[in-house]
Structures are given as structure tokens and as C-alpha cells.
């Protein structure tokens, strides 16, 4: 059968149902409201009416002008952008840059920014820590700090695997808030439970926040969750079996990431969406800060 000029070709599966034009084999009953090509849940982007495909969002369907206020949004209401992995790339670059600086400057740099409750540091030769010297910055700087090659390699690998799809689904600002608050929550729980003189560093709290958010998002999109659950289970086993790992940061980040993502992707449509999303992030942030304040009061 001949195809009419200009009409998109629609692949179909053996049952006669259309399949996504970008992902062969995925059945779908959803079509882009602009080009009318079939799209799966991975490709559909919320618009003011119905859903649109990434190609139409990127090109503006040949309108020749910038999208207006009703431009398509991500599932969490974020702005659709040309590079959906920009924040992930920037976070990767920051972590790698800090790692290189740590290698160049040595232990003194590492000890200055590691999370520690309070102790006399033999390298710096002075009392250090959140409680010992009001060094609150350590709760966040430690999230970008790595000392071992294997540590930063696996954390950055997971950041790339999990961060890119999450950033695309949530939008840049929401993804960045998820990452930073999850990392802070992991640090706060470590500060609360770990010994005051025990040092902790690494992006693991933030990475586990991405794990929690990915599970929430996949459940929301009704994807097969077995692969991500299996990967999380393997990492949790390593967390509690391998020596020298701050499991508190992993658990704190996981819980915070799941809570934030739930508020982001399940917020009601309309004017209340941003308020609910902002409120969820603020609540998790306040809980994290509250934990740190309680611990500081106990130690001082």
C-alpha cells in the first residue's frame, strides 16, 4: 500500500497496535498532538493539550518562533530543554575537579572538607568538625569529596546512569534540588548516628537519593521495576557488608530522594503543583537541618 506524501510511517506489532516511532517494540495508544505519530510513555511530554513527542518539542513543529508559556513540560512540570543532561554533566565535572584538586593538595585538603562531628585532627593540628568549630559547610562539601579512585568511579557511573534520565523527567531545577538535598540528608543522618570523630565523604548520599527517585518515577510511569530494584539490592548488600562504608549516608539519601521525588511527580496539576513541589523539598531540607541542629546540641 502506498503511503500518502508527508504522512509519517507507523510501525505496528504483530497484534496490529501501533508502536512508538522512537522505540521499536513498545506498544502504545498515545499519539503526539502535533505530528500524530505514536509515542510511548518514555517519549511523551506533557503539553497544554495532550502529549507531544521530543522531535516536535525540540523543533517547535516548524513554527519559527520560541515556545510560549504553554510550551510542553516534563512529567514533573520542568521546562523541556535542548540538553536534558546538562546538570548531570556539571555535577560530574565538579566531582571530578574536586577529586583532582584533592590528589594535588593531599590530605590537608581532604581533612578540611570531610564530614566530621568533632575531633582533634592530627593533620590540621586543631579541633575540627560541625559541632567542634561550627563548620557546617562540611555537611555539603563532603558530598563532592572522594579520596579513592574506585569510590569516585562507581559514584560517577551511577550518577550518569541514574542522573540523566531523572534530569530529563524532572527538569533541571528539580533535579538539582533532588541531588543536593538528598546529599545533605545523607550527611545529616551520618552526623546524627556516626561517632563524632569518624570522618565521612563521598557522593553516595546523593546517589542513593537518585536511586529512591528513580524507583518512585518508574512506579509512576508503570515501568518494569525489577532491574532498578536488583541494582539497588546489590548496592545495599555492599553497603552493609563491606567495611568502611557510611551506611547512614546511603539510607538517609535513599529516604530523602524517594520523599522528594514522590512530591515532585505526584503533585497535583495546576497552580498548586509548584507550591507542593517546593513545599516537599523545603520539608525534607528542614528535617535534615533539624537533625543536624539536634546532634550539635547533643555534642556541645
Give the active site residue among 61, 204, 266, 288.
204
Distance CA 106, CA 300 (A): 30
CA 180 to chain centroid, in Å, comes to 9
The answer to whether the beta carbons of residues 214 and 228 sit under 8 Å apart is: yes
CA distances from 201 to 68, 116, 245, 248 (A): 44, 9, 10, 12
CA distance readout (Å), 289 to 192, 201, 255, 260, 286 = 11, 18, 15, 15, 5
Of 146, 187, 200, 250, the catalytic one is 250
> How many whole angstroms separate alpha carbon 146 and alpha carbon 192?
21
Separation CA 251–CA 204 (nearest Å): 10
Residue 177 contacts by C-beta under 8 Å, 6 or more apart in sequence? 260, 281
In sequence order, the 6+-apart residues with CB closer than 8 A to the CB of 59 are none
Give the DSSP per-residue string, 251-273.
HHHHHHHHHHHHHHHSSPSSTHH
Q: Which residues contact 12 (CB under 8 A, 6 or more apart)?
A: 18, 19
CA 159, CA 93: separation in Å to the nearest integer?
11
Alpha-carbon distance of 277 to 2, in angstroms, equals 49
Answer yes or no: 204 catalytic. yes
Q: How far is CA 33 from the centre of its chain?
A: 29
Our answer to whether residue 250 is catalytic in this structure is yes
Phi, psi of 225 (to 5 degrees): -90, -5
Q: Which active-site residues does the annotation give?
A: 204, 250
Amino acid at each position: 500500500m502506498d503511503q500518502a506524501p508527508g504522512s509519517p510511517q507507523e510501525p505496528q506489532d504483530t497484534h496490529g497496535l501501533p508502536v512508538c516511532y522512537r522505540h521499536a517494540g513498545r506498544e502504545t495508544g498515545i499519539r503526539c498532538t502535533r505530528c500524530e505519530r505514536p509515542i510511548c510513555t518514555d517519549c511523551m511530554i506533557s503539553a497544554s493539550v495532550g502529549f507531544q513527542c521530543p522531535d516536535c518539542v525540540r523543533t517547535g513543529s516548524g513554527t519559527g518562533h520560541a515556545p510560549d508559556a504553554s510550551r510542553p513540560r516534563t512529567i514533573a512540570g520542568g521546562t523541556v530543554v535542548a540538553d536534558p543532561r546538562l546538570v548531570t554533566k556539571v555535577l560530574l565535572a565538579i566531582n571530578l575537579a574536586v577529586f583532582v584538586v584533592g590528589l594535588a593538595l593531599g590530605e590537608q585538603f581532604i581533612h578540611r572538607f570531610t564530614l566530621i562531628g568533632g575531633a582533634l585532627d592530627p593533620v590540621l593540628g586543631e579541633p575540627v568538625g560541625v559541632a567542634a568549630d561550627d563548620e557546617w559547610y562540611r555537611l555539603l562539601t563532603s558530598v563532592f569529596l572522594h579520596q579513592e579512585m574506585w569510590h569516585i568511579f562507581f559514584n560517577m557511573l551511577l550518577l550518569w546512569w541514574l542522573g540523566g534520565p531523572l534530569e530529563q523527567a524532572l527538569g533541571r531545577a528539580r533535579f538539582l534540588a533532588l541531588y543536593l538535598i538528598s546529599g545533605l540528608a545523607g550527611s545529616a543522618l551520618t552526623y546524627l548516628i556516626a561517632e563524632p570523630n569518624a570522618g565521612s565523604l563521598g557522593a553516595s548520599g546523593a546517589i542513593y537519593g537518585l536511586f529512591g527517585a528513580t524507583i518512585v518515577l518508574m512506579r509512576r510511569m508503570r515501568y518494569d521495576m525489577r532491574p532498578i530494584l536488583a541494582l539497588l539490592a546489590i548496592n545495599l548488600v555492599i553497603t552493609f557488608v563491606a567495611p568502611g562504608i557510611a551506611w547512614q549516608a546511603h539510607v538517609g539519601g535513599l529516604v530523602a530522594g524517594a520523599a522528594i521525588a514522590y512530591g515532585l511527580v505526584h503533585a497535583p496539576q495546576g497552580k498548586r503543583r509548584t507550591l507542593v513541589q517546593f513545599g516537599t523539598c523545603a520539608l525534607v531540607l528542614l528535617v535534615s537541618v533539624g537533625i543536624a541542629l539536634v546532634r550539635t546540641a547533643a555534642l556541645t
